[in-house]
């Protein structure tokens, strides 16, 4: 079925990219620059809570869905790549275009992580020697091998370590999807069917699959994350039919349904106390609804569209930036590690991350986009 969506329609979706990147960045700011809900409960027994304590703890729960918002990226990627490959001739230069688009910013993000590593190690060398009881400080320890040849090689080929480049885990799955995407378009129905079957198998036979000792990356892509790229592709090729399902639903009811699935995603995550395939499923439905809503009503949120333009750079640079601020905060205030009690430090963390990311966007990603645009016009 021919899809009538245009490039202009896809510009609208920059708001959703901006939303996803902003949410993930805020979640990491709150997670790195504050002690966290568990430690907060240990230090402040609920029996003694004031209204402010309830506010702090409850608002911290709002940033639980960092991984679920990565699912939003995966669905959007599937949707966007399906658009890019909608014409048979598009396969020819697909890989070169993807390389121009994603690799230069990726390299600069690796360089930035290395620079932050050197600065923070000079500033607080003890952070890289003492294993404090904190996930944030574990990230410092994980950076110790950043400049080893094997780690450098792995990072360069999208097999990233953790530390300051922890969010890069999702890029590995994006790259796998890009590598096979042109072939998936030839037999879309088989791809849809097999993706659903593999996802269901991954849920039902999770323990048995673990016993096969498949490489983690391969196992997670086949039985988990591929499903969400598929949803994006399916949505693109069946967009007109899916929009038709909402023709008799007014705007307010549509919004209510969207927030219902967002709430459901939170409930699943809080109930199970960690992200799971069930919260991912809910998040993917939430994403589909958002895409349809934004395109159906031509929703343009200027602030989110601006962030959406540099959302990729923001996503891959923000954690290193947050750790730079984290290290400066401990140094300047001469605090005793590992916990930060100042709940509001995440706000300057957000601003600092946005500024740094925008600077790197102007230096690298914008130029990559301009080069890609010239390339497209010539071909």
Q: Which whole number is the average pLDDT over 12-28?
A: 96
Residue 356's closest CA among 365, 367, 369? 365
Specify whether the CB–CB gap between 305 and 19 falls below 8 A: no
Q: Which whole number is the average pLDDT over 198-209?
A: 95
Task: Check whether the bond before 128 is cis (ω within 30° of 0).
Answer: no
Specify whether the CB–CB gap between 319 and 165 falls below 8 A: yes
Tokens coding 371 = 């080069």
Q: Which whole number is the average pLDDT over 207-219?
A: 92
For residue 4, the model assigns a pLDDT of 63
Quickly list DSSP for 336-377.
PSS----GGGHHHHHHHHHHHHHHHIIIIIHHHHHHHHHHHH
Tokens coding 64 = 């639980």
Question: Coil, strand, or helix at residue 24?
Answer: helix
For residue 87, the model assigns a pLDDT of 79
Q: Which whole number is the average pLDDT over 50-59?
A: 94
Enter the DSSP assignment of 238.
Answer: T
Quickly list DSSP for 269-289.
HHHHTS--HHHHHHHHHHHHH
Task: Compute and round to an integer the Cα radius of gyration of the chain.
Answer: 21
Quickly list DSSP for 3-16.
----HHHHHHTHHH
**Mean pLDDT, rounded, of the chain:** 94
Residue 126 has pLDDT above 80, yes or no: yes
Q: What is the pLDDT of residues 229-265, one digit of tens each?
A: 999 999 999 999 999 999 999 999 999 999 999 999 9
For residue 91, the model assigns a pLDDT of 73
Q: Which whole number is the average pLDDT over 219-228?
A: 97
Q: How confident is the model at residue 7 (pLDDT cuts 50, 70, 90)?
A: low
Number of residues in the chain: 379
Higher pLDDT residue, 219 or 376? Answer: 219
Residue 65 has pLDDT above 70, yes or no: yes
| In the block, residue with structure tokens 């895409």 | 291
* Least confident segment among 105-119, 205-219, 263-277, 364-378: 364-378
Specify whether the CB–CB gap between 171 and 106 falls below 8 A: yes
Q: Which whole number is the average pLDDT over 6-35?
A: 91
Q: What is the pLDDT of residues 315-371, one digit of tens each?
A: 999 999 999 999 999 999 999 999 999 999 999 999 999 999 999 999 999 999 999
E strand or H helix that includes residue 184: helix 169-184
Residue 15 has pLDDT above 60, yes or no: yes
Tell me how far CA of residue 254 lies from CA of 17, 231, 260, 374, in angstroms.
20, 20, 10, 39
In 10 A of CB 277, how many CB atoms? Answer: 17
Residue 358: partners with Cβ closer than 8 Å, 6 or more residues away = 310, 313
Alpha helix segments (H runs only) across 124-213? 135-142, 149-156, 169-184, 188-204, 206-211
CA dihedral 265, 267, 269, 273 (to 10 degrees): 180
Q: What is the pLDDT of residues 146-201, one digit of tens each?
A: 999 999 999 999 999 999 999 999 999 999 999 999 999 989 999 999 999 999 99
In 10 A of CB 355, how many CB atoms? Answer: 11
Residue 175's closest CA among 194, 156, 162? 156
For residue 373, the model assigns a pLDDT of 84
Q: How confident is the model at residue 93 (pLDDT cuts 50, 70, 90)?
A: confident
| In the block, residue with structure tokens 């395109």 | 295
Residue 12: partners with Cβ closer than 8 Å, 6 or more residues away = 294, 295, 298, 299, 300
Tokens coding 48 = 């003694």
Distance, in Å, from the CA atom of 70 to the CA atom of 166, rounded to the nearest integer, reads: 13
Residue 6 has pLDDT above 90, yes or no: no
Distance, in Å, from the CA atom of 31 to the CA atom of 33, rounded to the nearest integer, reads: 6
Residue 2 has pLDDT above 80, yes or no: no
């Amino acid at each position: 079925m021919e899809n009538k969506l245009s490039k202009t329609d896809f510009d609208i979706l920059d708001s959703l990219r901006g939303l996803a990147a902003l949410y993930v960045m805020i979640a990491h700011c709150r997670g790195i620059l504050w002690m966290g809900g568990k430690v907060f409960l240990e230090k402040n027994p609920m029996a003694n809570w004031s209204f402010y304590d309830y506010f702090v703890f409850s608002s911290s729960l709002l940033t639980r869905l960092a991984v679920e918002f990565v699912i939003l990226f995966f669905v959007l990627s599937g949707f966007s790549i399906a658009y890019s490959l909608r014409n048979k001739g598009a396969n020819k230069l697909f890989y070169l275009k993807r390389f121009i688009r994603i690799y230069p910013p990726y390299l600069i993000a690796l360089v930035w992580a290395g620079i932050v590593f050197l600065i923070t190690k000079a500033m607080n060398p003890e952070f890289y020697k003492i294993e404090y009881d904190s996930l944030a400080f574990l990230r410092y320890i994980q950076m110790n091998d950043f400049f080893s040849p094997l780690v450098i090689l792995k990072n360069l080929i999208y097999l990233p370590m953790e530390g300051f480049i922890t969010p890069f885990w999702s890029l590995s799955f994006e790259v796998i999807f890009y590598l096979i995407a042109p072939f998936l378009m030839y037999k879309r129905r088989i791809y849809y069917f097999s993706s659903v079957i593999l996802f269901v198998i991954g849920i039902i036979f999770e323990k048995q699959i673990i016993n096969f000792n498949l490489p983690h990356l391969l196992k997670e892509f086949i039985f988990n994350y591929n499903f969400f790229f598929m949803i994006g592709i399916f949505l693109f090729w069946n967009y007109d039919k899916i929009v038709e399902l909402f023709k008799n639903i007014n705007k307010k009811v549509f919004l209510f349904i969207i927030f219902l699935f967002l709430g459901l995603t939170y409930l699943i995550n809080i109930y199970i106390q960690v992200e799971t395939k069930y919260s991912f499923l809910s998040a993917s439905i939430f994403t589909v609804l958002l895409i349809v809503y934004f395109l159906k009503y031509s929703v343009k949120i200027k602030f989110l569209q601006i962030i959406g333009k540099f959302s990729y750079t923001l996503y891959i640079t923000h954690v290193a930036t947050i750790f730079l601020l984290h290290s400066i905060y401990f140094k300047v205030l001469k605090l005793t590690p590992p916990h930060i009690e100042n709940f509001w430090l995440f706000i300057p963390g957000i601003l600092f991350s946005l500024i740094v990311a925008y600077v790197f966007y102007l230096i690298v990603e914008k130029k990559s986009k301009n080069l890609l645009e010239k390339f497209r016009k010539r071909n």
